[in-house]
């Protein structure tokens, strides 16, 4: 007899998510993913100035701050056929890559490490052995005996105070926690250090953007970060070198701490490598743009079907027709009126809440599909698609990580192991390392361009009479993001966001095909249904962002209809 477990709220994510799972003989046999919040931002956008849209859409999410801003200005520019100056392109590239460094660090340490790391166990760690372990993994200067001793005392003081704060009532001592105390202590130390390095990434970002979260230096047509090497109020060489130094410091943390930690977790939890593959159709969008027309990129995009790297098919520009024509969303199992499947430009949606129905509607999220199939998106998708295309930077880091995991685990671990819960963590760490290299590359491209005397940052948009439509894509930290806009006489008529967490956390479709979260949970072991730590492991590996995932569109500008509560 299957046992039903409900995790609500799923914590250490953005937004409000509920996961239901049926457990049969210690393994999950069926799962449901349900978004529990709806805000209606796309309804609010109708009738407004398209130049303002990015400031609104950025507020879809403060964790993915910057990503909806970028996709938004790009969709308006796509509709207008407006190119932006190369300085603006490089500044946008740096913004997205530096933001991703912060985001990936925070995700691994603050949002998901506690699924694998037992904080309380760190109290029984031997300091000398902890140093030995840490030094075998990395030459990070923070891995010192004094540091580990101080962290251990800190954890002890918190436990002694009886006020565990955010660490209260968690799954400490759970039988699925397998790290030795020394690895736990090292990880807690890095958890605290991560807080400092994510802040440095934001400092670099804020020099470009005025502040973070919610950068304020974009504009349809370019950026508003004035460049003038001869002015104290603008981006000048002092500011640019400050950015470079901060990015280099963050890069040090990523390469010497984050990547080695992920390798260690992968090797010490090698028994988890078979779990959590789920949907193995992958999709990523090309980004880190290298030309004004957006046809050349430093991060490759495309699709892979059925886990077969040989099926890889690239997306080659911001106007790629293979991409543009094959995206649809289905609402058969979502709290909206109807059961249609439509292209984003064609959607009309009215909310219709029915409570949680196992075999009916059960979420505010829609089910996006590509050529009719569910797709997994995110860093792993992007890494696999780069790997399959022979992208050199991707190959270098993937091969490094796999060989290190193999050595530590004492068994050969190949690319096939990446189709897993742990593979998503590996993909994210690999992507962070690549983006730290690319951020510095694009810093140099920007400086070289300024050195040639080009200070342009903005091309003024002008809106024609009549109807135009466009889409903007961005490979965000959580994966493939697209915004779709219809503009009538210079005013927004329709706006639709098809978001990474909707691709991953979305429900079943009209053909009963499960979304990636749901599929990835099936087959996961559950040691104790009262403490479903394993559910959190797999769900967190996607880096859920539910504020992003829940959205809707009503082209008639109707208010939400009266809903029926059962």
Catalytic center residues: 14, 61, 64, 68, 478, 501, 545, 548
Distance CA 277, CA 291 (A): 36
Q: What's the chain's Rg over C-alpha atoms?
A: 23
247 is a site residue for another protein (CB under 8 A): no
CB of 38 to another protein, least distance (A): 5
Give me the phi and psi of 141, to 5 degrees please.
Answer: -65, -20
- Range list of β-strands (E), 159-237: 218-219, 222-223
Distance CA 374, CA 377 (A): 10
Binding mask 104-133 for another protein (x = CB under 8 A): --x---xx--x----x--------------
Among 70, 86, 122, 170, binds another protein (CB under 8 A): 170
Binding mask 57-76 for another protein (x = CB under 8 A): --xxxxx-x-----------
Please choose, out of 167-175, 262-270, 298-306, 390-398, the segment that lies near another protein by the rule CB under 8 A: 167-175
Among 4, 24, 26, 44, binds another protein (CB under 8 A): 44
Closer to another protein by CB, 55 or 290: give it.
Answer: 55
221 is a site residue for another protein (CB under 8 A): yes
The answer to whether 531 and 479 are in contact (CB under 8 A) is no
Among 14, 475, 509, 534, binds another protein (CB under 8 A): 14
171 is a site residue for another protein (CB under 8 A): yes
Residue identified by tokens 């640019």 is 240
Binding mask 449-468 for another protein (x = CB under 8 A): ------xxxx-x--------
- Closest to 374 (Cα-Cα) out of 402, 416, 332: 332
Among 531, 537, 553, 555, binds another protein (CB under 8 A): 531
Helix axes 259-268, 181-209, angle to 10 degrees: 150
CB of 228 to another protein, least distance (A): 4
The answer to whether 345 and 555 are in contact (CB under 8 A) is no
236 is a site residue for another protein (CB under 8 A): no
497 is a site residue for another protein (CB under 8 A): no
Please choose, out of 33-41, 127-135, 422-430, 462-470, the segment that lies near another protein by the rule CB under 8 A: 33-41
CB of 530 to another protein, least distance (A): 9
The answer to whether 470 and 75 are in contact (CB under 8 A) is yes
557 is a site residue for another protein (CB under 8 A): yes
Residue identified by tokens 């400031």 is 55
CB of 189 to another protein, least distance (A): 8
**Hey, is 193 helix, strand or coil?**
helix
173 is a site residue for another protein (CB under 8 A): no
4 is a site residue for another protein (CB under 8 A): no
Closer to another protein by CB, 155 or 279: give it.
Answer: 155
276 is a site residue for another protein (CB under 8 A): no
Asked, as a colleague might, if the bond just before 213 is cis with ω within 30 of 0, I would say yes
73-96 b/e (C-beta count within 10 Å ≥ 16 → b): bbbbbbbbebbbbbbbbbbbbbbb
Among 81, 233, 410, 556, binds another protein (CB under 8 A): 233
208 is a site residue for another protein (CB under 8 A): yes
Among 2, 8, 274, 399, binds another protein (CB under 8 A): 8
Closer to another protein by CB, 90 or 171: give it.
Answer: 171
Please choose, out of 127-135, 192-200, 274-282, 379-387, the segment that lies near another protein by the rule CB under 8 A: 192-200
Distance CA 254, CA 261 (A): 10
Total residues contacting another protein by CB under 8 A comes to 110
The helix (run of H) or strand (run of E) holding residue 496 is strand 491-498
CB of 484 to another protein, least distance (A): 19
**Hey, is 454 helix, strand or coil?**
coil
37 is a site residue for another protein (CB under 8 A): yes
168 is a site residue for another protein (CB under 8 A): yes
Distance CA 120, CA 553 (A): 46
The answer to whether 253 and 197 are in contact (CB under 8 A) is yes
174 is a site residue for another protein (CB under 8 A): no
372 is a site residue for another protein (CB under 8 A): no
252 is a site residue for another protein (CB under 8 A): yes
DSSP readout, 108-174?
A: IIIIIGGGT--TGGGGG--HHHHHHHHHHH---TT--HHHHHHHHHHHHHHHHHT--GGGTT--TT-
């Amino acid at each position: 007899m299957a046992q039903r477990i409900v995790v609500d709220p799923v914590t250490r994510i953005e937004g409000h998510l509920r996961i239901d799972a049926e457990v049969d003989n210690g393994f999950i046999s069926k799962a449901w993913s349900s978004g529990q919040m709806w805000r209606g931002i796309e309804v609010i956008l109708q009738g407004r100035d398209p130049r303002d849209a990015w400031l609104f859409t950025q507020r879809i999410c403060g964790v993915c701050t910057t990503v909806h801003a970028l996709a938004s200005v790009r969709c308006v520019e796509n509709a207008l056929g407006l190119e932006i100056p190369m300085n603006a392109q490089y500044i946008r590239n740096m913004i997205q890559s530096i933001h991703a460094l912060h985001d990936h660090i925070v995700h691994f340490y603050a949002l998901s490490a506690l699924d694998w790391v037992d904080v309380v166990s760190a109290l029984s760690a031997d300091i000398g052995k902890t140093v030995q372990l840490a030094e075998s993994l990395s030459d990070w200067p923070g891995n010192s005996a004094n540091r580990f001793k101080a962290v251990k005392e800190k954890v002890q003081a918190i436990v002694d105070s009886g006020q565990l704060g955010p660490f209260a009532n968690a799954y400490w001592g759970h039988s699925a926690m397998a790290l030795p105390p020394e690895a736990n202590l090292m990880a807690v130390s890095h958890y605290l250090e991560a807080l400092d390095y994510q802040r440095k990434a934001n400092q670099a970002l804020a020099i470009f953007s005025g502040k973070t979260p919610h950068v304020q230096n974009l504009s349809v047509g370019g950026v508003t970060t004035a460049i003038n090497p001869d002015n104290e109020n603008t981006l000048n060489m002092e500011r640019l070198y400050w950015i470079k130094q901060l990015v280099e410091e963050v890069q040090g943390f990523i390469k010497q701490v984050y990547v080695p930690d992920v390798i260690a977790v992968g090797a010490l939890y090698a028994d988890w490598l078979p779990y959590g593959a789920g949907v193995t159709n992958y999709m990523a969008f090309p980004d880190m743009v290298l030309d004004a027309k957006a046809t050349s990129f430093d991060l490759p995009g495309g699709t892979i079907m059925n886990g077969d790297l040989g099926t890889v098919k690239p997306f080659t520009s911001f106007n790629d027709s293979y991409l543009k024509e094959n995206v649809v969303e289905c609402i058969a199992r979502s709290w909206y009126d109807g059961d249609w499947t439509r292209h984003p430009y064609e959607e009309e949606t009215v909310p219709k809440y029915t409570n949680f129905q196992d075999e009916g509607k059960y979420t505010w999220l829609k089910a996006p599909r590509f050529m009719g199939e569910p797709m997994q998106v995110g860093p792993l998708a992007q890494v696999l698609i780069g790997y399959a295309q022979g992208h050199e930077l991707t190959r270098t880091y993937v091969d490094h990580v796999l060989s290190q995991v193999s050595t530590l685990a004492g068994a050969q671990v190949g690319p096939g192991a990446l189709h897993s819960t742990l593979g998503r963590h590996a993909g994210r760490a690999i992507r962070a390392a690549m983006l730290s290299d690319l951020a510095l590359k694009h810093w140099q491209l920007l400086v070289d361009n300024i050195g040639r005397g080009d200070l342009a940052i903005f091309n003024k948009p002008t809106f024609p009479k009549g109807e135009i439509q466009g889409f903007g894509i961005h490979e965000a930290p959580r994966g493939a993001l697209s915004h779709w806009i219809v503009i009538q006489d210079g005013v927004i008529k329709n706006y639709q966001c098809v978001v990474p967490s909707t691709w991953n956390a979305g429900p079943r479709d009209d053909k009963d095909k499960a979304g990636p979260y749901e599929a990835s949970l099936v087959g996961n072991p559950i040691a104790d249904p009262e403490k479903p730590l394993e559910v959190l492991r797999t769900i967190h590996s996607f880096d859920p962002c539910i504020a992003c995932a829940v959205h809707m569109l009503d082209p008639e500008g109707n208010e939400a209809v009266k809903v029926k509560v059962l």
